[in-house]
Structure formats: structure tokens, C-alpha cells
Chain A
Amino acid sequence: MKTIEFNPVCPLPISQYPQVLMAHGGGGKLMHQLIGKMFLAAFHNPLLDTQHDAAVAELTGGKIAFTTDSYVVRPLFFPGGDIGSMAVHGTVNDLAMAGARPVYLSSAFIIEEGLPMDSLWQIVCSMRDAAKKCGVQIITGDTKVVDKGKGDGVFINTAGIGVIEHEQKIAPQNVLAGDAILVSGDVGRHGMAIMAVREGLEFESKIESDSAPVHEMVLQLLKAGIEIHCLRDLTRGGLTSALNEIAEAANRTLLVEEKLIPVREDVHAACEILGLDPFQVACEGRFAAFIAAKDSERALKILRAYPNGTGACVIGKVMEERSADVFLNSAIGARRILDMASGEQLPRIC
């Protein structure tokens, strides 16, 4: 495999058209130029470079994990990341939640006519860098252009394949009474970073997204022989949705302690102002782990050795009851149900 040259300035390779045109998705010369000069140039690897309709790859080992996710985010660039890096991290993280080592990604772009070519190039560069950092290759892709007004700049879909190199069974059904519930860091930061930019809210400090890959932490837990029963990344719906999904799929009662759940002070303050619940706000680089209680201390030590795992902590446990509910011991010591939001969280009046 040829190594990708690191090019910090990322000069725009297509200069004659400052914006994406319908013709860039039309199957003709412009489309081939776009694919060749942008996508192939940035992502290139032997499998992609064959430019076949489908990439043909060999995988060693037994089981594979396969996932797909679509990324729609406004604004495309936000503090701490952009749609490109997010499209890599999100899919890599989904694979990691199955305990897989991510290997290959696909990337499909649906571009809105008129998107500045420069923005597209920045996104592509960001994907390239994120993929390199995660140790994955983008081996196949697709490009479509839609009419102005029919998209939000660009939508990206990535699918991912990972290999499973361990014997553990990681799934909600394996969650057991007594398991410790861990989170890998503070919650709610990505959602508030996006909301602050989107709504033009100005806080004293800039809230940066937590967008980051988590697979290395998971692989390290597995390597250390930590008994992992279930993993779930905290994306849309945040911690609350993730816990409720697991409780329901496992038919287990979960109990978490409000005081133990890490929320950064600026995120907490922004949520208070807007009347939002930080436990329901999305993250992009955090996960919850259900781990045999005997291993929880060792697991924390491993997670905390990673830059985006320094805030890892135990937030609760799995109870004996089998009611599929999530309970929260509140800051003042009373117990309540922690329910999923019914729809989008909407800022409150007062």
C-alpha cells in the first residue's frame, strides 16, 4: 500500500468551478474529474484505485461486523469537527460497539448543487485524515448531485466492515444483574456545540464537539480480557436513549446516579439556559459499557489512559428486577424514572 502524503494546506484540486454543478453528478467528464481529483486523490488505496463497481477485499478471521449510517448535520463545520470526520468516526464507532476492529468504509456523497468546491474539499480532507487516524480504508464510494434547495450542502453515507477477533458475546441480551454501567466521558457536548453554532448562541467559552473514534479503547478493553456484556454509543437521544434501548432489549432494570454522570460545566449551563436535559443531548465520541462489576476498576484504568477517555466513570448498575425501566437517583436523593424524550428536544419558554 502506498502511504498517503500528509499535505497540511490541502490545496483545492479543482479550480475552474468554484461551486458544485449538477453536471458534477451527471456521469460525464466533470463527474470523472471530481471523482479523480478529489475522492481518489484523497482516499486513494489499492482497493479504491481499481475503480471497479464494487471493491473486492479479503478478510482474515471468522466473523465480520457490518454497519451503515447517514450523516446530515447543519452547519457542516462546527467547533471540534465537521460532517466529514463525523461520517468516519460515527461508523467506526458503530463497528466498535460490536467489538469489531474497523477495516473498510464506503462513502456516498449526496451533494447539493452550489456547494462551494472548497467546502467539499475540506470535508474530503477531513474524512481522509479521520480515516487515516482510525486505521481504516475507504474502498468504494458514490457521488450524486441534487438541485439547489433539495439538500443541506452535503449528506454523507458511510458503511463499514470490521472484523471480530475475540470470543466475547457483546449484545443487550447478555447484560446481567450486577453489571457496572460505565460512560467513557462527559455527555452532551456534541449536541450543544451544534446548537450553539446553529442558533447563534454565544456563551463565554466555546463548546467543542466530542466527535472522536472510540474503537481503540474498546479493542484495548477486549485485549485486557475485560468481561464486556454490552456496548452502546451515545449518539442521538444521548445517554437517556441509549440506556432505555438497552433496558428494553435486555429486559433489565437499570439504576444510575445523577451525581455520577459527568457533564461539563459549560454544557450544563447551556442546557439550563435552554431548558434542555444534558442526558438527552447527542454525543459523537462517547459510549456506555455494561461490564462485569469485578472488572470495572480495571476497565476505568484502561479507558482513562486515552485522551477522550479521561472522564470515564461508573454511573450506575444493572438491578435484579426485570422491568425494562431506567431509574435515576436525583441529585437530592430521590428516585425517578429516566424516560426517553418523545421527539426532538424543544427549548422551553421560560
Chain B
Amino acid sequence: MKFLDEYRDGELAQQFAREIHRVTTKPWNIMEICGGQTHAIVKFGIDELLPEKITLIHGPGCPVCVTPLEMIDKALEIAARPDVIFASFGDMLRVPGSTTDLLSVKAGGGDVRIVYSPLDAVKLAEQNPANEIVFFGVGFETTAPATALAIFQAAQKRLKNFSMLISHVLVPPAMEALLSSPNCRVQGFLAAGHVCAVMGYEEYFTIAKKYRVPVVVTGFEPLDILQGVLMTVQQLESGRAEVENQYSRAVRREGNQPAQDLIKKVFKVVPRKWRGVGEIPKSGLGLNEEYAAFDAEKKFGVADHHVEESADCRSGLVLQGQIKPHECPAFGAKCTPEHPLGATMVSSEGACAAYYRYRRHDRQLAEAR
């Protein structure tokens, strides 16, 4: 396919792999931030082409995985109300809350709908004036502009039956939280290309300097990721800690200014709890006072929910790159995509689900030995 097959060329991939082998002399731990990158790595088997010395650590960049349990519970409570049409991106529907998931709420009679854009939810609000339409606004900086636009439009249209349950998160504060941890093993980052397409990569210069860590803005296709790894390894091997842009066909240093303006207009930076990680200061987006009427937590009185997560689930350690998914005792046994304990096993971008889908045989082979 045009603009896709070019980035999946087997021969070029092998060339990149050979070059990475050539320049690698020491062991390095590199974290890919984004769940989309994790998915591509395991789907295409990119890590199998890398030298054994290079370990890819799968980062916390899957919006489904880091949405805290209590936020899922809030969604479940709101979605079960008879007057509500609850609109969400598809892969949030299977994420387990404390007791159930949105698919089960739907099976029990709740009106839960998959939408492809937050603007579809605004349309639903216009078409169903007798219902309350609630959109589950999750995601990183990538989806934040679309969420912001939906709120902005709903305000312009003076919609009273539209609100959002918002759990937006920001990448740079999470990187800083990881790097500040005494257990941090990460020596270089592949930054998430799509996040940077919106936000640019200005913010990463301070991080690279402060923590002496290379950051390479990287795309999502196999050749993007291989080139991103090569650029990171070249920096590490030569002792540099710079910000570089592999994904220049989509990302400019300053990012997308109108999108950033819209985010600033609708949202403010707030502390946010990350599933499996805990609260990170200044790591999320919440609605500005001007748009507070669209806050579903306030509208439906669910702001005070607090719950604890499953003790068997190590997804927090997985998200922080401290263990690989298959090193969790529950992996593939107590925890499978059919019966997930944590969100990393649910989302197609989650590291655990990706390992389960594409790598289960590694574990089976290891056990057979």
C-alpha cells in the first residue's frame, strides 16, 4: 500500500538491523514510550532483529492501560444509568473495572456506543435531546485536540445534554517520573511520534539534558522504529544525550500550533493518577473553569470514587519497564485477554496483550526446556 509498504520493506529492515548490530558494543535499555510502537514491535517481530545487547522496555504510552481503575468504575456507573448514552473509543469497552466492564454494562441494557471521534458524540447529543450523552475522553496529547474540539463545539452549540468523563494524560511528566525513580533502567527513549506531531519536541530538551538521556522522536512503522533504535544506540555509544527527530515527515519542532491552542483553551494541567503507577503531578488534563459544565464527574456526582487495584496484577511494574509482561506470575495463567486482571492485558496496545498475542510461544518454549 502506498505510504505504508515503503516503511515495511523487508530488505531495508535487514539493512537497518545489520547497522544496529554493527554499532552496538555495550548493553543498552531503550524504552519506546507509545503503545502503538510496542504493538508494531511485537507484531512485526522487530525486537527479534535486534542484537541481544539491546533491550526494548515497553513504556506507559497506552491510554487504555494507564486509565485508573476508579475512572473505569465511574464510567461503568454513568453508563448504567437509563438516561445515558455512553460513547467511547472501541478498546475502552473491554477494560475491567472493579467488578465488570462496559461490554457487560451494554449486555445488561446500558446504551454504550463505539465512536471513532469525540465529534461523533457531539452529533449524538444533538440527535438525542432527551438523553444525556457522555463521552469517555481518554488518551495522550494525540487525542486531546479532538476532545478539546468536541467540548468547544458543544459549548458553541449550547448543548446541555453533553458531558465528558476526562482522563487525559501527558507524556513528558510521566517520562520525568520514570527517570526520577531509583529503579529506573531506561537509558534512552523513543518518543511517541504522534504525540510530538501535536506538541512538538521542545519539552524533551530539558529532560535529555537533566537526566543525560537521548530522546529520539520516532514513528510507528517497522522502518521508523528500527531507525529510531539505530539513532538512539548511536547516541548512547558515542556518549551523547540529545533530542533527535526520526519522524520528520510528520513532526516539526514546534508541533501543531492551532491544536495546542485549542488544548490550552479548553483544558488546564492537573495531577492525574496512572493505573499501576500512582499519581503523577502535572501529568493530566482537566476542564477549565469556563467549560466545567461539561464535566461528567461533577454532573453525575461520581468524583469521590476511590478503589484499590488487584494485588496479583503487576501491570505497574510492566508500565514502568521494571519487568517484562511474561515475568509476571499471573501472565497467561490468572491473567489472559479473555480474563484480564489489568488493562495492559486488555488493550491491543498494552504490552501484556501484545506479548500474549504474539509471544506466548516464547514462554511455552521456555517451559518446555
User: Taking beta carbons and an 8 Å cutoff, which residues of A are in contact with B?
Assistant: 199, 201, 259, 265, 268-269, 272, 274-275, 323, 325, 327, 330-337, 339, 342-343, 346-350
CB of B14 within 8 A of CB of A333, answer yes
Q: At the interface with chain A, which of B44-52, B70-78, B300-308?
A: B44-52
Q: At the interface with chain A, which of B87-95, B229-237, B315-323?
A: B87-95
Q: How far is the CA of A339 from the CA of B92 in the complex (A)?
A: 21
CB of B49 within 8 A of CB of A334, answer yes
Task: Say yes or no for B359: interface residue by CB 8 A criterion.
Answer: yes
CB of A350 within 8 A of CB of B116, answer no
CB of A348 within 8 A of CB of B45, answer no
B102-132 to A contact mask, C-beta < 8 Å, 1/0: 0100000000001010000000000000000
CB of A346 within 8 A of CB of B91, answer yes
With A336-B358, A337-B361, A350-B36 known as contacts, the answer to whether A330 contacts B44 (CB < 8 A) is yes
Task: Say yes or no for B97: interface residue by CB 8 A criterion.
Answer: no
Q: How far is the CA of A335 from the CA of B46 in the complex (A)?
A: 10
Residue of B10, B93, B94, B140 ringed by the most chain A CB atoms within 10 A: B10
Choice from A201, A259, A337, A350 contacting B139 with Cβ under 8 Å:
A350
**Interface contacts beyond A331-B44, A335-B45: sample of 14 additional A-B pairs, CB < 8 Å, sorted by A:** A201-B116, A272-B4, A331-B10, A332-B13, A333-B10, A334-B44, A334-B49, A337-B357, A337-B359, A343-B103, A346-B93, A347-B89, A347-B116, A350-B140
Q: Is the interface of B mostly helix, strand, loop or mixed?
A: helix
In B302-339, the 8 Å CB interface with A consists of 336-338
Residue of B63, B91, B142, B347 ringed by the most chain A CB atoms within 10 A: B91
With A201-B116, A342-B337 known as contacts, the answer to whether A349 contacts B43 (CB < 8 A) is no
Choice from A335, A337, A339, A349 contacting B89 with Cβ under 8 Å:
A349
Choice from B45, B116, B338, B357 contacting A330 with Cβ under 8 Å:
B45
Residue of B at shortest CB range from A347? B90
Q: How far is the CA of A201 from the CA of B138 in the complex (A)?
A: 22
Question: How far does the Cβ of B113 sit from chain A's closest Cβ, in whole Å?
Answer: 10
CB of B45 within 8 A of CB of A349, answer no
CB of B45 within 8 A of CB of A342, answer no
Task: Say yes or no for B352: interface residue by CB 8 A criterion.
Answer: no
User: Taking beta carbons and an 8 Å cutoff, which residues of B are in contact with A?
Assistant: 1-2, 4, 8-10, 13-14, 36, 42-46, 48-49, 63-64, 89-94, 103, 114, 116, 138-140, 142-143, 194, 222, 336-338, 347-349, 356-361, 364
Question: How far does the Cβ of B81 sit from chain A's closest Cβ, in whole Å?
Answer: 20
What residues of A have a CB within 8 angstroms of the CB of B114 in the complex? 199, 346-347
Q: How far is the CA of A222 from the CA of B222 in the complex (A)?
A: 42
CB of B49 within 8 A of CB of A332, answer yes
What residues of A have a CB within 8 angstroms of the CB of B45 in the complex? 330, 332-336
Question: How far does the Cβ of A244 sit from chain B's closest Cβ, in whole Å?
Answer: 12
What residues of A have a CB within 8 angstroms of the CB of B13 in the complex? 332-333
Residue of B1, B4, B63, B139 ringed by the most chain A CB atoms within 10 A: B1
What residues of A have a CB within 8 angstroms of the CB of B116 in the complex? 199, 201, 274, 347
What residues of A have a CB within 8 angstroms of the CB of B2 in the complex? 265
Q: How far is the CA of A333 from the CA of B11 in the complex (A)?
A: 9
What residues of A have a CB within 8 angstroms of the CB of B44 in the complex? 330-332, 334, 336
CB of B46 within 8 A of CB of A349, answer no
Q: How far is the CA of A6 from the CA of B148 in the complex (A)?
A: 57
With A337-B361, A347-B116 known as contacts, the answer to whether A265 contacts B1 (CB < 8 A) is yes
Q: How far is the CA of A274 from the CA of B117 in the complex (A)?
A: 11
Question: How far does the Cβ of A320 sit from chain B's closest Cβ, in whole Å?
Answer: 16
Question: How far does the Cβ of A329 sit from chain B's closest Cβ, in whole Å?
Answer: 9
What residues of B have a CB within 8 angstroms of the CB of A259 in the complex? 10
CB of A350 within 8 A of CB of B46, answer no
Question: How far does the Cβ of B169 sit from chain A's closest Cβ, in whole Å?
Answer: 12
Question: How far does the Cβ of A242 sit from chain B's closest Cβ, in whole Å?
Answer: 17
Choice from A265, A275, A334, A337 contacting B48 with Cβ under 8 Å:
A334
Q: How far is the CA of A336 from the CA of B358 in the complex (A)?
A: 5
CB of A350 within 8 A of CB of B194, answer yes
Q: How far is the CA of A350 from the CA of B193 in the complex (A)?
A: 12
What residues of A have a CB within 8 angstroms of the CB of B94 in the complex? 343, 346
Q: How far is the CA of A339 from the CA of B354 in the complex (A)?
A: 11
Question: How far does the Cβ of B185 sit from chain A's closest Cβ, in whole Å?
Answer: 24
Residue of A268, A325, A332, A342 ringed by the most chain B CB atoms within 10 A: A332
What residues of B have a CB within 8 angstroms of the CB of A201 in the complex? 116
Question: How far does the Cβ of A49 sit from chain B's closest Cβ, in whole Å?
Answer: 43
CB of B358 within 8 A of CB of A350, answer no
* Contact sample, A vs B, 18 pairs, CB 8 Å cutoff: A269-B4, A325-B361, A331-B8, A332-B9, A332-B10, A332-B46, A334-B44, A334-B49, A335-B48, A336-B42, A337-B359, A343-B94, A343-B338, A346-B93, A347-B91, A347-B114, A348-B90, A350-B142
Q: How far is the CA of A199 from the CA of B114 in the complex (A)?
A: 9
Residue of B at shortest CB range from A264? B1
CB of A332 within 8 A of CB of B222, answer yes
CB of B63 within 8 A of CB of A350, answer yes
What residues of B have a CB within 8 angstroms of the CB of A330 in the complex? 43-45
With A275-B348, A332-B44, A334-B49 known as contacts, the answer to whether A349 contacts B10 (CB < 8 A) is no
Q: How far is the CA of A268 from the CA of B2 in the complex (A)?
A: 11
What residues of A have a CB within 8 angstroms of the CB of B46 in the complex? 332, 334
Question: How far does the Cβ of B232 sit from chain A's closest Cβ, in whole Å?
Answer: 19
Closest 7 CB pairs of A and B: A334-B45, A346-B90, A342-B337, A347-B90, A332-B13, A334-B48, A336-B358
Q: How far is the CA of A337 from the CA of B139 in the complex (A)?
A: 29
What residues of A have a CB within 8 angstroms of the CB of B142 in the complex? 350
Q: How far is the CA of A269 from the CA of B4 in the complex (A)?
A: 9
CB of A349 within 8 A of CB of B63, answer yes
Q: How far is the CA of A342 from the CA of B48 in the complex (A)?
A: 25
CB of A348 within 8 A of CB of B8, answer no
Q: How far is the CA of A91 from the CA of B334 in the complex (A)?
A: 38
Residue of A272, A274, A349 ringed by the most chain B CB atoms within 10 A: A349
Residue of B43, B138, B143, B359 ringed by the most chain A CB atoms within 10 A: B43
What residues of A have a CB within 8 angstroms of the CB of B64 in the complex? 349
Question: How far does the Cβ of B119 sit from chain A's closest Cβ, in whole Å?
Answer: 12
Q: How far is the CA of A330 from the CA of B143 in the complex (A)?
A: 29
What residues of B have a CB within 8 angstroms of the CB of A272 in the complex? 1, 4
CB of A349 within 8 A of CB of B139, answer yes
